[in-house]
Amino acid sequence: AALNDGLRSQVSAALKEGRVTPTELCQRCLALIKSTKFLNAYITVAEETALKQAEEAEERYKRGQPLGILDGIPIAVKDNFNTAGIETTCASNMLKGYISPYNATVVQKLLDQGAVLLGKTNLDEFAMGSGSTDGVFGPVRNPWSYSKQYKEKSVPKSHSEDEESNWVITGGSSGGSAAAVSSFTCFAALGSDTGGSTRNPAAHCGVVGLKPTYGLISRHGLIPLVNSMDVPGILTRCVDDAAVLLGSLAGHDPKDSTTIQDGFKPFELPNLTDVSKLSIGIPKEYHAPGLSSEILALWSKAADLFKNAGAKVVEVSLPHTPYSIVCYHVLCTAEVASNMARFDGLEYGHRSAMKDSTESMYAATRREGFNDVVRGRILSGNYFLLKQNYEKYFVKAQKVRRLIANDFVKVFRSGVDILLTPTTLSDAAPYTEFIQEDNRTRSAQDDILTQAANMAGLPAINVPTALSERGLPVGLQFIGRSFQEKQLLTVAKWFEKQVQFPVIQLEEVKRHDTDVFQHQKSASFS
């Protein structure tokens, strides 16, 4: 096996050769979850079932019959995916105590491959937010807040203040999943991505975050936010691992009629050495207001990297980019208004004690169950869907959506293969600073670079690129053509190899434990 084999292949080999067992892996991850509890990345840890799954995997390895690369691999799942027998809360009071009666298709697929489900990760309530700060179980802390790299760069105001007030957010809404992967408590995690919810926390936590093409991976069992944009997201520590996960999750699902029927063939990523045939597009509108000069410089450096390696790098224009957030705002709230209607207290979830009438029970249940962000979006959505507003707002937004999607079509038709953009406007903000602005404002600001890919249904991936001045991760985003994940990931893998993003140095993680977890040298790009 070569040095640049994905972590997955290294672990897979170790498992096959018996150098490590699935139960050892599972126990190490569970112990790490306990020792990193302060991150608040997990809402539910399914310790018993995980150990049982690990034991079953171990039996299979002993017989020399593992189910595949994922057999025995500990993974975590965002708490908006249904997991049979395990509480699924969406970080909301509305679903506290709700035990899913079934597995989401993606969860089932992972379990069928022998993956070990460690637990459910924390998020913004109902995946609405860009900080993973607005859930009922509290905010998720970015593991990098506790890294040597960050601590070295931060000036403690006073001894008592330092760690407690300095910690930075993970980004969101899949912050728990990103933090889990970043802190080595699992090898991969599922997130969801509607406006950037997988890529944003991936960028802030220094992990790979893949948003697949809409229609490639089943949404059955993913509690929906915006049916026309939601996709399950994949978070891993390297691009190869993301390809492995994609291979086991993609494909038509009869239970999700929005999955395409074309057969999907899992692929291994080639080691690209010649990029001279590639055309990289740099969309000028992604030089958005508020983009930090640091990230701008990194973006530019990345473009040069491709140019110097022989690729064609061109500036392109996606003129409707500035309207994608407004468009999203209308379409999202409208679909949310519809999707949240199912929560009435009758069949599942929270139920108010109010019993004067059905309607008042519904109203009280929803008042008690939803936080302000969710309720605000429901109300806005209903406003845009009113008969007198339908054409003016909802249909108008659908038309603008087409214009946004067409912008991408035009650019890809002109010969560009992949677009290169920043993922976030800056590195992770300290929590105390982040909560100064309300959720909607923050989401509008933070989603600006990721949202359009959801509008157009295109695949996009965050690749950790370098550390910022503050010692925090910064990632760059690649956006590809519909259903061309292989090309997208191949380019991402090439880039990942060039930048050699440093491994997080977490004091909590014992040195000898990371042998199995490390896979990249620490020379850095910046």
> Minimum Å distance from CB 438 to another protein?
8
Given 9, 145, 182, 197, which residue is catalytic? 197
d(CA 93, CA 478): 36
> Minimum Å distance from CB 43 to another protein?
17
Count of beta carbons in the 10 Å neighbourhood of residue 205? 35
> Minimum Å distance from CB 83 to another protein?
14
> Minimum Å distance from CB 97 to another protein?
8
Is the Cβ of residue 457 or residue 502 nearer to another protein in the bound state? 457
Q: Note whether 163 and 169 are within 8 A (CB).
A: no
Is the Cβ of residue 131 or residue 473 nearer to another protein in the bound state? 131
- Radius of gyration over alpha carbons of the chain, in Å? 22
Q: Note whether 77 and 53 are within 8 A (CB).
A: no
Is the Cβ of residue 136 or residue 403 nearer to another protein in the bound state? 403
197 is catalytic: yes
Is the Cβ of residue 72 or residue 457 nearer to another protein in the bound state? 457
173 is catalytic: yes
> Minimum Å distance from CB 491 to another protein?
22
d(CA 104, CA 118): 16
Q: What does the buried/exposed string (b/e) look like for 351-369 if buried means 16 or more CB atoms within 10 Å of the residue's CB?
A: bbebeeeeeebbebbbeeb
Give the tokens for residue 390.
Answer: 């339908």
116 DSSP β-pair partners: 74
d(CA 516, CA 128): 35
With CA atoms as reference, report the closest residue to 11 among 210, 176, 237, 272: 237
Q: What order do you get walking across the sheet with 74-78 strand by strand?
A: 42-45, 116-121, 74-78, 188-193, 231-236, 208-211, 460-467, 473-479, 418-422, 279-283, 312-316
> Minimum Å distance from CB 357 to another protein?
4
> Minimum Å distance from CB 280 to another protein?
23
> Minimum Å distance from CB 518 to another protein?
39
Given 130, 145, 173, 443, which residue is catalytic? 173
Is the Cβ of residue 16 or residue 96 nearer to another protein in the bound state? 96
Distant-in-sequence, close-in-space partners of 68: CB < 8 Å, separation ≥ 6? 113, 114, 248
Distant-in-sequence, close-in-space partners of 83: CB < 8 Å, separation ≥ 6? 46, 77, 100, 103, 104, 107, 117, 120
Count of beta carbons in the 10 Å neighbourhood of residue 72? 31
Give the tokens for residue 269.
Answer: 């990523």
| Length reported for the chain | 526
92 is catalytic: no
To the nearest 10 degrees (0 to 180), the angle between helices 372-385 and 324-339 is: 100
DSSP state letters, 448-482: GGTHHHHHHT--EEEEEEEE-TTS-EEEEEEE--T
Q: Note whether 109 and 75 are within 8 A (CB).
A: no
Is the Cβ of residue 254 or residue 415 nearer to another protein in the bound state? 254
List active site positions.
78, 173, 197
